[in-house]
Structure 1
Amino acid sequence: MKEEVLIKAEEPEYFQLRPEVEKAYGYTHAVRIGNSIKVSGAVSMDDQGNPTAVGDFAQQMKNCYADLDKILKHFGCTFDNVVVENIFTTNMPLLLENGAFRAEIYKNKFPSGSWLGVKELALPEFMIEIELEVHKP
């Protein structure tokens, strides 16, 4: 005898870190479907969407990771759950110079990913943007 199994479709869970900014720019910072979470690129900005740490690559990088940490915590995750990290930068030499900071973020293992040099990001003051893919077991 065959038994029919019904699988309920997962509804996406949307999370906005800065709702007004995200609405103005037309994106959601993170979306979870099942065990997968896609996180839009984090940049160094305040709650009004203004660039912060202008001209300071190291601080912009730290600010990106601080925002990503808030998003991960919302979903009950840590950086140990990150499986893909893509970093976009307008200054690859500065990323290479500051890349060792990532060892403070990824204490157990590094995720897969890419480092991409780009001509520009959303605002000219942004020097780095970091996006993530997360697997929550």
Structure 2
Amino acid sequence: MNTSKISTTLLVFFVAASLSNCDEKAKTETVIEKSEIIEHRKVDETPEYFLLRPEVEKAYGYSHAVKIGNSIKISGAVSMDDEGNPTAVSNFEQQMKNCYADLDKVLKHYGCTFDDVVVENIFTTDMPKFLEFAGYRTEIYKKQFPTGSWLGIKELALPEFMIEIELEVHKSK
């Protein structure tokens, strides 16, 4: 009987040791998977810059947008043509629409829509005019409005600009 108990004890020990080795292998695989995930994140966090009007943006020294991971920051859009000249001078409503049209181009470049916008900051030299036309934003934001600020300021980059709109976007994978 002692031999039988010893054999049973050894059998239990070997089975436990085998299972323990399986657990160690699983832990090792988990560590490798986590390591691969960390490496993958580093690759995704490389900044990707976008120039909407390359010559104008180079001349003024800015990039229109940068994407890092799932976040995109978009510089303020103003009402200008491809040479950087102000458009819709003295027409606040049209300037606002031109800003959103440019922002839409940037969003589409990244495969996004206004539904992905989480922050919208508006700078204006004429807050009463902005408030008069702010309802236009309901045509832009179909699901919900983003967070953000509306700021009345003294001036923008050029005296003809009456509004500038910047965005932050979060794009889920």
Q: Give the TM-score normalised by structure 2.
A: 0.77
In structure 2, C-alpha distance between the alignment counterparts of 1:113 and 1:41, rounded to whole Å: 13
In structure 2, C-alpha distance between the alignment counterparts of 1:56 and 1:108, rounded to whole Å: 28
Unaligned runs of 5+ in 2: 1-26
Which residue of structure 1 aligns with residue 138 of structure 2? 103
Higher RCO (Cα < 8 Å, 6 or more apart)? 1
Matches within 5 A, 1:34-113: 34-113=69-148
CA deviation profile, 1:15-56 (whole Å, cap 9, x unmatched) = 000000000000000000000000000000000000000000
Shift of 1:108: 1.1
Amino acid at match of 2:160: E
In structure 1, C-alpha distance between the alignment counterparts of 2:86 and 2:140, rounded to whole Å: 22
In structure 2, C-alpha distance between the alignment counterparts of 1:86 and 1:54, rounded to whole Å: 21
Unaligned runs of 5+ in 1: none
CA deviation profile, 1:95-115 (whole Å, cap 9, x unmatched) = 000000000000111000000
Matched-pair identity in %: 76
The aligned length equals 137
Please identify which structure carries the higher helix content.
2
CA deviation profile, 1:50-92 (whole Å, cap 9, x unmatched) = 0000000000000000000000000000000000000000000
Please identify which structure carries the higher strand content.
1
In structure 1, C-alpha distance between the alignment counterparts of 2:142 and 2:127, rounded to whole Å: 23
Runs of 4+ in 1 over 4 A off after TM superposition: none
In structure 2, C-alpha distance between the alignment counterparts of 1:109 and 1:135, rounded to whole Å: 14
**Larger-gyration structure (1/2):** 2
RMSD of Structure 2 on Structure 1 (CA): 1.0
In structure 2, C-alpha distance between the alignment counterparts of 1:117 and 1:13, rounded to whole Å: 31
